[in-house]
Amino acid sequence: MIQYPKPEDHLSRFVIGIFRINGALMRNGDRITKAIGQSSARWHVLGQANFQPQTVAAIARNMGHARQSVQRVADVLVHEGLALYADNPMDRRAKLLCVTPEGEAVIAQINARNAAWAADILPQLDVEALAKLADQLDRVATILEKDEQDKE
């Protein structure tokens, strides 16, 4: 791995750390899902729909991705029978992405593989510090989202 110089300011160091963690999480997610023919991207979209049927646009907003990229993944999931589009009582034009029983089975397999991975990782971490860090990340996200809205 290439070692880049660390920026002087705390916010840049934080952002670089988040990017690095995101990359590692995506690579591990791809490794976890590969054995069952899935990817992190599919896992995220399927997981969002499994949590609650929602529009592709809502899933994209929740994930912080472009609607078009989520639409492509959703279409593949529907084509493979893991999800389907259902009528949306709130908007006739925007269908809801729903998980099929086959999709629920895939999510269950992914969740089991993820739980095994987490069981390996968690003993290496300070769970109390991790909980505090999660709270701080929520706070940072709230501040960044407010700044984004204020500047629109």
Taking residues 30-37, what's their average pLDDT?
95
Closest by Cα among 31, 20, 22, 18 to 114: 31
Average pLDDT on 73-98 reads 95
pLDDT bracket for residue 14 (50, 70, 90)? very high
Average pLDDT, the chain: 94
Residue 13 lies in a domain: no
**Does residue 101 sit within a domain?**
yes
Q: What percent of the chain has pLDDT over 70?
A: 99
Domain count, the chain: 1
Q: What is the CATH number of the domain that holds 85?
A: 1.10.10.10
pTM, two decimals, is: 0.84
pLDDT digits (tens, 9 = 90+) for 44-62: 999 999 999 999 999 999 9
Angstrom distance (rounded) from CA 108 to CA 94:
27
CB 55 within 8 A of CB 94: yes
Q: Establish if 54 belongs to a structural domain.
A: yes
Distance (Å, whole) CA 5 – CA 14: 14
Does 11 reside within a domain?
A: no
Q: Higher-confidence residue: 33 or 152?
A: 33
Domain that residue 44 falls in: 25-115
DSSP line for 73-104: HHHHHHHTTSEEEE--TT-SSSPEEEE-HHHH
- Residue 30 domain-assigned? yes
pLDDT digits (tens, 9 = 90+) for 96-113: 999 999 999 999 999 999
Domain for residue 5, yes or no? no
Q: Within a domain: residue 110?
A: yes
Q: Indicate if the pLDDT at residue 1 is higher than 70.
A: no
In a domain, 137, yes or no: no
